[in-house]
Amino acid sequence: MSGERAGTFIATKEHRRFTAFAEAVRQHRYVGLCYGAAGVGKTLSARRYAHWDVAGPLIETWNRPRDATRKKVNEVLARSRTVFHTPTVLGTLRDLRETLSDHMGRVDSCIDDHLHRHVKGCRIVEPYGSLVAMLIVDEAERLSVTALEFIRDLFDRTGVGVILIGMPGMEKRLSRYPQL
């Protein structure tokens, strides 16, 4: 699988700080900003928090049968309730909207499957909206102003917590947008 790292993950002090930050964003439904130099572990910590190395292949392709792998993915997504997304270079707003909609719907479906795995036949409909609690956007400096507005609107409409991850300098760019 491309993009997968080999070796053991070491939970550093910085990773534990990211996890505490992510928990606060998820619990209180904030928009959070995580920035730092390349190579310090921002992406790796975020992917680990979202269990994206386990869940990503299913969510991004959505073509696996219901097997033991699917059960494991459902379980980890029910714990994290998080979607991880890296926008493409020169990606359009339409691509972003479609991808986030697909991924959030798929994660929602996996969480629902896990929560109602013992229910036969009809599904119980939850009284609230999406089961997804957080969206993590890596390489957020790639987003256009319109794409940032879309993510802010998604935050406003769904109440999902959002973490934007990027390089130093991104905080200055975002400080011009008080709504974020």
pLDDT band at 1 (very low <50, low <70, confident <90, very high): very low
The model's pLDDT over 33-91, given as tens digits with 9 standing for 90+, comes to 999 999 888 999 999 999 999 999 999 988 766 677 888 999 999 999 999 999 999 88
Q: Is 63 exposed, middle or buried (0-12, 13-18, 19+ CB in 10 A)?
A: exposed
- Work out the average pLDDT over 14-31: 94
Q: Tell me which range, 9-18, 37-46, 125-134, is most confidently predicted by mean pLDDT.
A: 37-46
Give the per-residue pLDDT at 113. 87
Give the per-residue pLDDT at 65. 63
CA–CA separation, 25 and 163 (whole Å): 7
Question: What residue spans define the domains of the chain?
Answer: 26-118+130-174
Chain mean pLDDT for the chain: 87
CATH code assigned to 26-118+130-174: 3.40.50
- Residue 13 pLDDT greater than 90, yes or no: no
CA–CA separation, 93 and 12 (whole Å): 35
